[in-house]
Amino acid sequence: MKINLFYLSKPVFGGWVTFTAHLFHTINKNNNCSLYKISNKTENKLRDYGYGVKYQNISENSIKLLDPEKTIITAIDKNYYDYMKYLHGCRLVIHDPTELSDIVTNNLKHFKVITIRKTVRDLLKKDYSIDSEFILHPFYKYKVDKINQTRNYSISRIDFDKHIEIILNANKNIIGDENKIRIYGSENRIYVYHNLLKLNYDKYYCGKFDKSFGSVNRILKNGKYLVDMSIIKKDGCGTQYTFLEGINNKCCLILNSGWFNGQYEVLRPELNCLQAKDGKELSEIINNNSLKISDLISESQKILDMHELKEIPYVGSL
């Protein structure tokens, strides 16, 4: 059975993009998956999406020819709301509460909704009376190389909800330049200008990276800690792709205490990750050379097995 994926969003970096790539590779084991974007005309050629995935541009008229029962919208933003009326009956992935505009919530009754964190599933049910099918982030477990664990990294987007300022405040007190947290990722320049430049950001920012699993591995192959200080309003507790990338590359996760908000699912501090509430606590963890992290890393590997997608919601087994 062929599955059609639609990426209906402008961003070319971030969790939506990564989710789409991992879902594509998971489904496409038997060359039974295609990825589309909407354009003014249908093209015969395939274009590079990143992460070893190709996509095809198709027109509005071509959308109507696809079977909605076999179509998943992996992400949608305001630039594509006008096309929702052509896609009724399809599955639609809602990643976090920031996507729940009035237009989206008013249209959700026409879609089979998929959520990837329990907090979002519960929010949709409680606030909008929308039922959804919950799945853990599908993760394509690609091979990685690993050398000595000596460096510390952040690979999330550089944006307000990622709280990179906590990382920069920690760097002030981390002992030894080799232990400072190196920052990679696509930038929101407004956030950088107003919140980060005054914190010596340019010294630690190393640029964005190519959209490939190899690029992620080249950054993290000598990683000791993968630091992610994300907090998303009305969301959290579950996973993000930066977390899973860190785990797959055998780094120990340090996450924001606010991400858990007192609720613990697969990620549990002191069992398979660590947590810090501010720059002071973050620097103390990294400066603690006696801290044993091998057991945390070993336990975290079990999480990847949980994220192996075995069936497609509303369709069945792969």
Taking only the tens place, the pLDDT of each residue in 256-302 is: 999 998 888 899 999 999 999 999 999 999 999 999 999 999 999 99
Of the three residues 135, 168, 185, the one that is the final residue of a domain is 135
Lateral strand order in the sheet of 133-134: 47-50, 53-58, 33-38, 3-8, 71-76, 91-94, 112-115, 133-134
What are the start-end ranges of the E strands in the chain? 3-8, 33-38, 47-50, 53-58, 71-76, 91-94, 112-115, 133-134, 151-154, 181-183, 223-228, 252-256, 274-276, 311-312, 316-317
- One domain, residues 95 and 156: no
Q: Is the pLDDT of residue 94 over 80?
A: yes
pLDDT value at position 148? 87
Check residue 264 and give its pLDDT: 86
- What pLDDT is attached to residue 164? 98
Q: Count of domains in the chain?
A: 2
- pLDDT at residue 99 greater than cutoff 90: yes
Considering the domain architecture, whether residues 300 and 155 belong to the same structural domain is answered as yes
What is the three-class DSSP state of 50?
strand
Question: Is residue 9 within 8 Å of residue 75, measured between CB atoms?
Answer: yes
- CATH at residue 266: 3.40.50.2000
Looking at the fold, whether 94 and 161 belong to one and the same domain comes out as no
Closest-CA residue to 151 (of 208, 197, 196, 206):
206
Looking at the structure, do residues 157 and 97 belong to the same domain, yes or no? no
134 confidence band (pLDDT: 50, 70, 90): very high
Q: What is the Cα–Cα distance from 123 to 114, expressed in whole angstroms?
A: 13
Determine the pLDDT at residue 29: 83
- Rounded to 10 degrees, the C-alpha dihedral 14/116/105/312 comes to 110
Mean pLDDT of 215-231: 98
Domain boundary among 77, 102, 135: 135
Domain co-membership, 114 together with 168: no
pTM of the model: 0.94
Q: Supply the range of the domain harboring residue 120.
A: 3-135
Task: Give the pLDDT confidence score for residue 4 in this predicted structure.
Answer: 95
Residues 299 and 213 in one domain: yes
259-270 residue pLDDT tens: 998 888 899 999
Cβ(244)–Cβ(272) below 8 Å: no
Q: What is the pLDDT of residues 148-175, one digit of tens each?
A: 899 999 999 999 999 999 999 999 999 9
Instruction: Determine the pLDDT at residue 268.
Output: 96
pLDDT attached to residue 262: 82
Claim to verify: residue 98 and residue 172 sit in the same structural domain: no
Tell me the average pLDDT across 72-100.
96
Arithmetic mean of pLDDT over the chain: 95
Tens of pLDDT, residues 30-63 = 789 999 999 999 999 999 999 999 999 999 999 9
Distance from C-alpha of 224 to C-alpha of 292, rounded to nearest angstrom: 11
Give residue-wise pLDDT tens across range 226-254.
Answer: 999 999 988 999 999 999 999 999 999 99
Domain-terminating residue out of 135, 163, 183: 135
pLDDT at 146 over 90: yes
